[in-house]
Amino acid sequence: MKIIGYIALFFALLLTSCNPKNGSDSADRDPSMQFADSLLSQLSLEEKVGQMTNLSLMALAEGEFWDRRDTVILDPEKMKLYLDSFKVGSIQNLGTYPFSPAEWRQNIGLIQDYVAENTRHKIPVLYGIDAVHGANYSAGSTLFPHQIGIAASRSRKVASEIGRITSYEMRASGIHWNYAPVLDVTKEPLWGRTFETFGEDTYIASELGLAMIKGGGSDSLLSPYSGLACLKHFIGYGAPHNGKDRAAVYLPQRIVLQDYLPPFQKAIENGALTIMVSSNSLNGVASHADKSMLTDLLKKELGFKGFVISDWNDIDNLVKTHQVAKDEREAVKISVNAGLDMCMEPYDASFAEHLLDLVDDGEVSINRINDAVRRILYVKHKMGLFDQIQSDPIIYPLYGSDEFAEIAKQMAIESITLLKNENESLPLRRSETILLTGAGSNSINSLNGAWSRTWSGQDTTFNDKQKLTLKGALEAKVGKDKVRWTQGSDYDVAVNIKKAVQMAAGVDRVVIALSELPSTEKPSDIDELDFPECQIELVKQLSKTGKPITLILLEGRPRLIEEIEPLVESIVLAYLPGNEGGLAIAEILYGDANPSGKLPFTYPKYSGAIWSYDHAKADARDKGFGFEAYDPQYKFGHGLSYTNFSYSNLILNGDSFTYTDTVQVSVMVKNTGAVKGKEVVELYVSDLFASIVPKNRSLKGFKKIEIEPNDSTEVNFYLAKNDFEFVNSELENIVESGEFKLAIDTHKIKLYFHP
Ligand code: BGC
């Protein structure tokens, strides 16, 4: 590794950057900005455009781009073409098979060495990857619950820990840049990427997104354990109008600003440095062509100082999918002029060719190019890429360790949500014999979902052999003699339902693990929200045996269970809990852990009744003209425990507040049951009267606490003006004086807010 060369370059550039005239903004004393300005002034147009190009690793490897690989060998000719001739400044991803950390370091090292030896300014390449639930493309890394589970945990600590360990293992693999977190809010349960999000609530996505980014090291980017976050996907991606991935989004601008922007805004206010554009169109404008969003809102209004990258091949999609550009050249022009700084052009460098041509012809200004490249160099410097391309592998002894696996198990436990528990059927008794069956009962892939060693997560070849499926985990917990197993059903086809029914006769209880087929993006599109018929049939047939049934749901979105819910005693929603998910479920099932997850989405009962909890009051008008129509299978925030909590003494520090006051809300929570438990205390605000139809309620605070039996804890929340705001039709964030209702659990209290 040519680290010394980079260090020398760093100091040389730092010296030249002392002249403030080099800066685009001489008032900006940020050393990284000065560095970027100085280096920028020395780059040729080709070098600048190269920095704006992000190429896939497959494009540098021997063989055809889409070849199925079990090894990647970098092709010297392709390296020369892309790194030397096109001067590409960023490489990304691999989802075909997982590299070991050593393989990652070797390949990225070869790229960095090539750049150091063959290019004039030796600007390190920025490598980006989708490490969305752990460093999932690194063999043997720790795999955590997907984001939807983090949202269910309602724990900033969980989000932060997952961020921390993901960055640690990514850096152990020599990778700095993570295309995560997903900050898309989604109220569309059909959408196949729901599992990658924090669910339907804006406040949860804002809080947990920030916790994950900070845990990942955003405040100490120079540390060898920190990762650079890429917020995605900007903006509205989670609201495809027909539930299909990448479909058009139609959202009033005030709703975009009010409900979809805040998670991004919060991260940006806290220094997030890269952001990915979403593939969709928003109100008829393709996001990659949307100057009002990328430049006016993001860069000017929000003051975003980092750079904007496209999503996969999405410049081409301006031509082929959105039909807003007649050819690729025009697409590049529209997108770069709209504010795109780096293009994820996976297959080749045609973006760079077109951009050079466009600058030559005066269709893209050199100022726009300079702005983009300055941002990229700024970020590269800010994260220490120039002086620490790769850190010493020995400083990552905990990579894939038991210690991290134990943390991952605890994170999964925190996320698992007990939806139903009739007749106190859970925890299970160790003396009982169970029949375990179902698509997810003996599958690591069902626990991990997509983005797990491979992109789709379906290939079993790369599963970590020592990790336990649910079957393995239950056998380890209570002994093989207590666990009978048969597959029963696969994802889409019945396997041996009859056999499962016969086996049920000989056991005390049946545990059925339903599962979605791991998938993401377009392959995750579904046409109906129900579980596939064969899985429903397995439950129905087994219910006829009269044996009590516990249902485990391994799913990234709420698949309908209305038909089978009455047939089972207990239901455990595990989402996609990761590699330690089997162990986590086993602990919950046998009462070694007490469930504390809360639904991060409204669980619909019918495909024709899709809601979010923060709907308008009118939506809840029922047939009897009351307001009881919001009757999902399970409400947002629902989640049972093996103990009970009671709430009392909901009080405020006043009843009338001005806009500069802080509203203190306190409540007592008592564990009235027999075992220790964690409770998520949630605070909702309702505006009782406003100039624009208010939401029924909005979550404005949550805290997770642990209480011993018979103990009580006081929980406090502090609300400020912005917690009472909404976006009006003039697109302003305003608060209107008047009455508001606060609610915690079933307790409610009113307050008056005025200027
Ligand atoms: C996805 C992004 C991802 C990118 C790189 C795209 O298809 O939409 O979420 O970061 O690919 O893998």
Q: Are residues 383 and 520 in the same domain?
A: no
pLDDT at 351 over 60: yes
Q: Which of 235, 244, 311 to mutate to test the pocket of ligand 1 (most atoms within 8 A of CB)?
A: 311
CA of 546 to the centre of ligand 1 (A): 46
Domain assignment present for residue 680? The answer is yes
**CB neighbour list of residue 347: distance below 8 Å, 6 or more residues apart:** 56, 59, 65, 313
Evaluate whether residue 610 is within a structural domain.
no
Taking CA 175 as the corner, what is the angle to CA 238 and CA 85, rounded to the nearest 5 degrees? 95
Is 70 exceeded by the pLDDT of residue 10? no
| 697-753 residue pLDDT tens | 999 999 999 999 999 999 999 999 999 999 999 999 999 999 999 999 999 999 999
Whether 218 shows a pLDDT value over 70: the answer reads yes
For 201, 238, 607, 628, 637, the CA distances from 632, given in Å and listed in that order, are 16, 20, 10, 11, 12
Residue nearest to atom 11 of ligand 1 (CA): 312
Question: Is the pTM here over 0.75, yes or no?
Answer: yes
Same domain, 338 and 372: yes
Interval between CA 456 and ligand 1 midpoint (Å): 12
For the chain, give the mean pLDDT. 95
Phi-psi region of 385 (alpha: psi -120 to 50; beta: other; left: phi over 0): alpha
pLDDT for residue 69: 75
Task: State the total domains in the chain.
Answer: 3
The answer for residues whose C-beta is within 8 angstroms of residue 61's C-beta and 6 or more apart is 69, 72, 73, 74, 75, 78
Residue 370 falls inside a structural domain: yes
Task: Assess whether the C-beta atom of 312 lies below 6 angstroms from ligand 1.
Answer: yes
Does 659 lie in the same domain as 565?
Answer: no
CA of residue 315 to ligand 1 center, whole Å: 14
CB atoms within 10 A of CB 247: 18
CATH code of the domain covering residue 709:
2.60.40.10
Start-to-end Cα distance in the chain? 61
Residue 6 has pLDDT above 50, yes or no: no
Closest CA to 356 of 348, 345, 364: 364
Distance of CA 311 from the midpoint of ligand 1 (Å): 6
Burial class (CB in 10 A: 0-12, 13-18, 19+), 651: middle
| The last residue of a domain, from among 589, 611, 628 | 589
Asked whether 179 lines ligand 1 (CB < 6 A), one says yes
Nearest CA to ligand 1 atom 8: 311
pLDDT surpassing 50 at residue 33: yes
Task: Give me ligand 1 centre to Cα 370, in Å.
Answer: 26
Q: Of the residues 184, 245, 311, 614, which is catalytic?
A: 311
Residues 6+ apart with CB under 8 A from 22: 16, 34, 37, 38, 41
Distance between CA atoms of 407 and 387, rounded to whole angstroms?
A: 32
Q: CB of 521 closer than 6 A to ligand 1?
A: yes
| Separate counts of helices (H) and strands (E) for the chain | 21, 26
Domain membership of residue 340 as a residue range: 44-395
Among 243, 273, 95, CA closest to 176 = 273
Q: Which atom of ligand 1 is nearest to the CA of 179?
A: 10
Compute, in angstroms, the gap from residue 28 CA to the centroid of ligand 1: 33
The CB of 93 under 6 Å from ligand 1? The reply is yes
> Among all chains, which residue has been given the structure tokens 């980006």?
128
Q: Which two tokens stand for residue 424?
A: 């106190």
What pLDDT score was predicted for residue 139?
97
* Centre of ligand 1 from the C-alpha of residue 289, in Å: 18
Residue 523, Cβ density class (10 Å: 0-12 exposed, 13-18 middle, ≥19 buried)? middle
Predicted pLDDT at 23 = 40
Measured in Å, residue 125 CA sits from the centre of ligand 1 at 19
- Do 585 and 675 belong to one domain? no
Tell me which residue has its CA closest to atom 6 in ligand 1: 312
**657 is a domain residue:** yes
Query: Residue 679: which residues within 8 A CB-CB, separation 6 or more?
Result: 596, 641, 645, 669, 671, 704, 705, 706, 707
Q: Among 178, 179, 280, 452, say which to mutate for ligand 1: greatest number of ligand atoms within 8 Å of CB.
A: 179
Residue 383 and residue 492 in one domain: no
Instruction: Look at 5 and 485; give whichever has higher pLDDT.
Output: 485
Measure the CA–CA gap between 739 and 324, rounded to whole angstroms.
47
DSSP letters, 426-460, are: -SPPTTS-EEEESTTTT-HHHHH-SSBSBSSS--S
CA of 277 to the centre of ligand 1 (A): 10
Out of 567, 589, 611, a domain closes at: 589
Share of the chain above pLDDT 70, in %: 96
Q: Using CA atoms, how far apart are residues 410 and 539, in angstroms rounded to an integer?
A: 29
Q: Taking a C-beta distance cutoff of 8 angstroms, is the pair 128, 230 a contact?
A: yes
How many CA atoms does the CB half-sphere of 281 hold within 13 Å? 14
Element (H, E) at 186: none
Confidence grade of residue 387 (pLDDT, cut at 50, 70, 90): confident
Domain end call among 566, 589, 612: 589
> CA–CA distance from 391 to each of 219, 396, 517 (Å)?
18, 9, 38
Residues 331 and 422 in one domain: no
Percent of the chain with pLDDT over 90: 94
Q: What are phi and psi of 129, to 5 degrees?
A: -150, 155
How far is the C-alpha of 177 from the C-alpha of 196, rounded, in Å?
A: 18
* Bridge partners for 551 per DSSP: 512, 571
Same-domain check for residues 429 and 371: no
The answer to whether the CB of 130 is under 6 A from ligand 1 is yes
The kind and range of the H/E element at 12 are helix 3-16
8 Å CB contact between 122 and 114: no
Same domain, 421 and 340: no
Report CA(444)–ligand 1 centroid distance (Å): 23
388 and 472 belong to one structural domain: no
Q: Residue 471 CA to chain centroid, in angstroms?
A: 28
Mutate to test the pocket of ligand 1, among 170, 312, 347, 456 (most ligand atoms within 8 A of CB): 312
Instruction: Please indicate, yes or no, whether residues 226 and 270 belong to a single structural domain of this protein.
Output: yes
User: What is the rounded CA–CA span in Å between residue 686 and residue 698?
Assistant: 6
Helix (H, G, I), strand (E, B) or coil at 685: strand
Identify whether residues 571 and 647 lie together within a single domain: no
Please give the distance, rounded to the nearest whole angstrom, from the Cα atom of residue 101 to the centre of ligand 1: 22
What single string gives the DSSP state of each residue in 723-734? GG-EE-TTS-EE
Is 157 among the domain residues? yes
For ligand 1, atom 7: residue with the closest CA? 312
- If residue 664 lies in a helix (H) or strand (E), which one and from where to where? strand 663-671
Phi first, then psi: give them for residue 702, nearest 5 degrees. Answer: -150, 145
pLDDT (tens digit per residue) in 542-591: 999 999 999 999 999 999 999 999 999 999 999 999 999 999 999 999 99
Whichever domain contains 66, its CATH number is 3.20.20.300
Indicate the pLDDT class of residue 28, thresholds 50, 70 and 90. Answer: low
- 356 in any annotated domain: yes
* Cβ-contact 359, 369 below 8 angstroms: yes
Ligand 1 and 311: CB distance under 6 A: yes
Cα 410 to middle of ligand 1, angstroms: 28
Q: Which two tokens stand for residue 257?
A: 């600003």
Q: Give the C-alpha distances (Å, rounded to integers) separating 164 from 4, 105, 142, 158, 539.
A: 28, 20, 12, 10, 40
pLDDT in tens, 453-471: 999 999 999 999 999 999 9
Of the listed ranges 10-24, 40-54, 226-240, 255-269, the least confidently predicted one is: 10-24
Ligand 1 atom having least distance to the Cα of 196: 9
pLDDT(87) > 80: yes
Residue 446 resides in a domain: yes
Whether residue 407 lies inside any domain: the answer is: no
**Residue 389 confidence (pLDDT):** 76
Nearest atom, ligand 1, residue 233 CA: 9
Cβ of 232 less than 6 Å from ligand 1 = yes
13 has a pLDDT exceeding 50: no
Beta strand extents in 351-413 (DSSP E only): none
Q: Is the pLDDT of residue 592 over 80?
A: yes
pLDDT band at 68 (very low <50, low <70, confident <90, very high): confident
Q: What average pLDDT does the segment 346-369 reach? A: 97
Residue bearing the CA closest to ligand 1, atom 12: 130
Give the DSSP H or E segment for 549. strand 549-554
Structure tokens at 184: 């898309």
| In the predicted structure, residue 4 carries a pLDDT above the cut 70 | no
219 in the same domain as 99: yes
Mutate to test the pocket of ligand 1, among 130, 196, 347 (most ligand atoms within 8 A of CB): 130
Q: What is the dihedral of CA 400, 401, 402, 407, to 10 degrees?
A: -70
Cis before 31 (ω within 30): no
Is the minimum distance from the CB of 184 to ligand 1 under 6 angstroms?
Answer: no
CATH code, domain with 568: 3.40.50.1700
Q: Is 387 a catalytic residue?
A: no
